[in-house]
Amino acid sequence: MVRIRQLGMIVVIIGLYMGDPTQSILCGDEGMWLFNNPPKKHLKEKYNFDATKEWLEHVQKSSVRFNSGGSGSFVSPDGLVMTNHHVGADDLQKLSNEKKNYLRDGFHAKTLAEEIPCKALELNVLLSIKNVTDQVNQAVPKNLSGKDAFAARQKIISEIESSVADEKNSIRADVVTLYAGGEYHLYTFKKYTDIRLVFAPEQQIAFYGGDPDNFEYPRFDLDMCFFRVYENGKPAKIEHYLKWSANGSKEDELAFVSGHPGRTNRQNTIAELEYLRDIGYPYLLQRLNRYEVLLGSWSERSEENRRRARELMFGVQNSRKARVGGLAGLLDPTIMARKIKEETQLLEFIKNNDKPEIKELGSAFDVVKKAEKRRAELIKDYTMLEAGSAFFSAHFNYARALLRASEELPKPNGERLREFSNARLPSLKQQLFSDEPIYDDFETLKLADGLSLFATQRGANDPMIQKILNGKSPRDRAFELISKSKMKDPEFRKKLFEGGKKAVDEANDPMIELARLVDADSRKLRQEMESEVEEPKRQAYAQLAKARYALYGSSTYPDATFTLRLAFGQVKGYTEDGQKVPAFTTMSGLYQRSKEHQDKPPFDLPPRFVACKDKLDLTTPFNFVCTADIIGGNSGSPVINKNAEVVGLIFDGNIQSLVLDFIYDDVQARALSVDSRAILEALRKVYEANDIADELTGKKRIAPQN
């Protein structure tokens, strides 16, 4: 679901030139644009649309980022937030238990009193953007070692963030790296932590067609979910929110997507793409395939096992399919040839430039190549230890966070690991003290598999493996660690955090001792990755950003970084295998799809939809596609028209869009959305949720008026 993957027919126009630096190098409606650098000229010339300062501010402040990794938007003045069911799935699962399975069965709070508080969910709304590139770069003198440069950069970033962050007033501050180190922007957010579940349909209709239909089109998914933000115990009063379109969208209409694309690799050098192709993606796919088998087998043992593993299983399957598609793109010689051509053109521009300050930038390619070689040497141990794949357990994650907090917090703010800086502490504590459910049997399963994977990778006789296993099998060691640890108790975790180093050292918890056992090696790997891979690449990409700017001017956009971006395109179908694929599906198509598969899973209809068929207007548009440039992280983004009215809800990309991680295409690649008309039709006629439909359409206010 919107973790974009594989390829179709790729047509990319790269306009190399040595003349006008403002000439566009972009293809069609390409771009995940910063809100402080939108493509105003293009929108005006092609669509006669003025992206005014007021319009941009309104859309920006109506958009919401989920800390769980998705997007959303305010859709009422009373704090109602719309996103995807699969973005809210983690929270639905945390709120469920053996008796109430909200992820599977759905949920509807008919009154404010019935809205359920979420666990450790944080929503962010972008208030302002400030370019702090000069401030960051001036704090990092030239000729520093990679280690010292990284430390100096982190110190100034922590200082900038802490000077703005304000826990009392719920202000979060993040310095965001753009253009891979070419620029640094300070993003200031309004943070909401009192979030309550309002409505979700059954997962079966939200993810209709299941894994077979994931990344496919035509589709029939009601992938929606609604939350509400509260302040001081009451629904928040929201100034900027998106109104609902009465008419939805139509073919060829201009549509905008405001959301938080997670990561793209379009400006990567060939050396980095080759690393991903030959090492990074294959290694990740090995682990994802392993997890999928593990979770699938465990889920088949009982319905309760299935419930506990369901959201993680979805994430694993989704990531696996996305990476298969991404790898296919990197293995496509046509795509790699185009990327090589782009890089060659940039290198030739640098070499042939008369300015010495441009000529010297060419060495950046060799720096990246060297860094990627080092990453290949570090990645397996780094993944096991610092990324935590060897210790696949919430217990371990909590234990290491507590251990490191006890060591990091006494340090000056600018010298801490970034996640323990003053600006990030409130979010860290919210996660650390969450009372979300943790199941010992599930944690034992995951940890045993992680320990087995690490032992297989290192070898059973490796000294570290022997220390970790302590004379036991991975399964027995995992059971011992989980059963004797108190890490699942939030009060215990809070006591240790507040007690500092003394309390942690005296905790006598086996999971903390495991974290302590591997922490020196883990920190060393992190320091090597930061100073020998990340920092050299950051400096090299900053040089390449200067070269691209000299060549192309400001007509480009940075790779995605899970920061708010504006994309746009037309509602438009496409042709595949000689067949016309329409821009819209309808509700009648849902019932036809079920009939074709004899209503068997995963194409079976929820009972509500069977019972309500005669009530529905089956001509209602259900899902639609557009050419907007999206990627994973855009899940839950609103699709809006020129009037900033909701016409849809992004939930996926088609199979041809998976190549968008590396290169843009609008021949067949499409963004998939739930149509706004289907949302209202289902709310009113299937779920009898007129309260939510009326709130969306402005017919109902629930919060006290001023």
CA 701 to CA 706: how far, in whole Å? 12
Instruction: List 571's β-bridge partners, or say none.
Output: 626
Contact 193, 430 (CB under 8 A): yes
Instruction: List 229's β-bridge partners, or say none.
Output: 195
The secondary structure of 458-514 as a DSSP string is H-TT-HHHHHHHTTS-HHHHHHHHHHH--TT-HHHHHHHHHHHHHHHHT---HHHHH
Query: What pTM was computed for the model?
Result: 0.91
CA 227 to CA 83: how far, in whole Å? 8
pLDDT band (50, 70, 90) for residue 68: confident
pLDDT band (50, 70, 90) for residue 180: confident
CA 349 to CA 25: how far, in whole Å? 14
Among residues 173, 157, 187, the alpha carbon closest in space to that of 60 is found at 187
Q: Check residue 552 and give its pLDDT.
A: 82
**DSSP H or E stretch at residue 457:** helix 440-458
Contact 633, 260 (CB under 8 A): yes
Instruction: List 188's β-bridge partners, or say none.
Output: 128, 173
Name the burial class of residue 97, with classes exposed (0-12), middle (13-18) and buried (19+) by CB atoms within 10 angstroms of its CB.
exposed
Contact 75, 244 (CB under 8 A): yes
- Whether residue 555 is predicted with pLDDT greater than 90 in this model: the reply is no
CA 450 to CA 391: how far, in whole Å? 5
CA 73 to CA 188: how far, in whole Å? 17
Among residues 63, 89, 77, 283, the alpha carbon closest in space to that of 187 is found at 63
Angle CA 86–88–91, to nearest 5: 125
Sequence-separated contacts (24+) of 542-546 with Cβ below 8 Å: 542/179, 542/180, 542/181, 542/182, 543/361, 543/363, 543/364, 544/180, 544/182, 544/267, 544/269, 544/346, 544/361, 544/364, 544/365, 545/179, 545/180, 545/181, 545/182, 545/183, 546/182, 546/358, 546/361
**CA 447 to mean position of chain CA atoms:** 25
**Structure tokens, 501:** 């180093």
Phi, psi of 636 (to 5 degrees): 90, 0
For the residues 171-195, what does the mean pLDDT come to? 95
**Structure tokens, 453:** 């994977």
CA 633 to CA 631: how far, in whole Å? 6
Among residues 127, 238, 259, the alpha carbon closest in space to that of 190 is found at 127
CA 480 to CA 329: how far, in whole Å? 44
Q: Check residue 570 and give its pLDDT.
A: 98
**DSSP H or E stretch at residue 176:** strand 171-178
**Mean pLDDT across the chain:** 93
Instruction: List 675's β-bridge partners, or say none.
Output: 648
Q: Check residue 361 and give its pLDDT.
A: 94
**Structure tokens, 40:** 């105003």
Amino acid symbol at 234: K
pLDDT band (50, 70, 90) for residue 702: confident
For the residues 64-69, what does the mean pLDDT come to? 94
DSSP state of 120: S
Q: Which domains does the chain have, with CATH numbers?
A: 72-121+195-263+563-696 (2.40.10.10)
Cβ neighbours, 10 Å, residue 159: 18
Angle of the 364-385 helix axis to the 535-552 helix axis, nearest 10: 140
Instruction: List 226's β-bridge partners, or say none.
Output: 82, 199
CA 319 to CA 3: how far, in whole Å? 7
CA 262 to CA 599: how far, in whole Å? 35
Q: Check residue 706 and give its pLDDT.
A: 45
Contact partners, residue 230, CB within 8 Å, separation at least 6 = 79, 192, 194, 195, 196, 236
CA 654 to CA 29: how far, in whole Å? 17
Contact partners, residue 635, CB within 8 Å, separation at least 6 = 1, 2, 70, 71, 83, 84, 86, 87, 259, 650, 651, 652
Query: Tens of pLDDT along 464-485?
Result: 999 999 999 999 999 999 999 9
To which residue do tokens 């997507």 refer?
257
Is the previous residue joined to 218 through a cis bond, with omega within 30 degrees of 0?
yes
For the residues 307-327, what does the mean pLDDT come to? 94
H helices present in 20-84, as ranges: 40-47, 53-62
Average the pLDDT over each of 326-340, 387-401, 667-681 and give the range with the smallest value.
326-340
Q: Check residue 601 and give its pLDDT.
A: 96
Q: Are strands 70-74 and 63-66 parallel, antiparallel or unpaired?
A: antiparallel
Query: Tens of pLDDT along 246-261?
Result: 899 999 999 999 999 9
CA 156 to CA 139: how far, in whole Å? 7
Residue 448 Cα distances to 374, 463, 474, angstroms: 30, 18, 5
CA 488 to CA 394: how far, in whole Å? 8
CA 700 to CA 706: how far, in whole Å? 15
Count of all residues that appear for the chain in the document: 706
Q: Check residue 694 and give its pLDDT.
A: 98
Residue 521 Cα distances to 53, 197, 452, 527, 543, angstroms: 50, 41, 19, 10, 32
Contact partners, residue 322, CB within 8 Å, separation at least 6 = 3, 4, 5, 215, 632, 658
- Whether residue 535 is predicted with pLDDT greater than 70 in this model: the reply is yes
Q: Check residue 635 and give its pLDDT.
A: 97
For the residues 564-593, what does the mean pLDDT come to? 97
pLDDT band (50, 70, 90) for residue 25: low
Q: Check residue 549 and give its pLDDT.
A: 83
Contact 332, 326 (CB under 8 A): no
Q: Check residue 665 and give its pLDDT.
A: 87
Contact 55, 568 (CB under 8 A): no
The secondary structure of 507-562 as a DSSP string is ---HHHHHHHHHHHHHHHHHHHHIIIIIHHHHHHHHHHHHHHHHHHTT---PPP-S
Query: Tens of pLDDT along 484-530?
Result: 999 999 999 999 999 999 999 999 999 999 999 999 999 999 999 99
Q: Check residue 3 and give its pLDDT.
A: 31
For the residues 354-368, what does the mean pLDDT come to? 93
Q: Check residue 704 and give its pLDDT.
A: 55
For the residues 673-702, what does the mean pLDDT come to? 96
Q: Check residue 554 and give its pLDDT.
A: 66
Q: Are strands 638-640 and 254-259 parallel, antiparallel or unpaired?
A: antiparallel
**Structure tokens, 289:** 């395939």
For the residues 141-150, what does the mean pLDDT come to? 92
Q: Within a 13 Å sphere around the CA of 112, how many CA atoms are in the beta-carbon half?
A: 15
At residue 3, the 3 state secondary structure works out as coil
Query: Tens of pLDDT along 8-24?
Result: 222 222 222 222 222 34
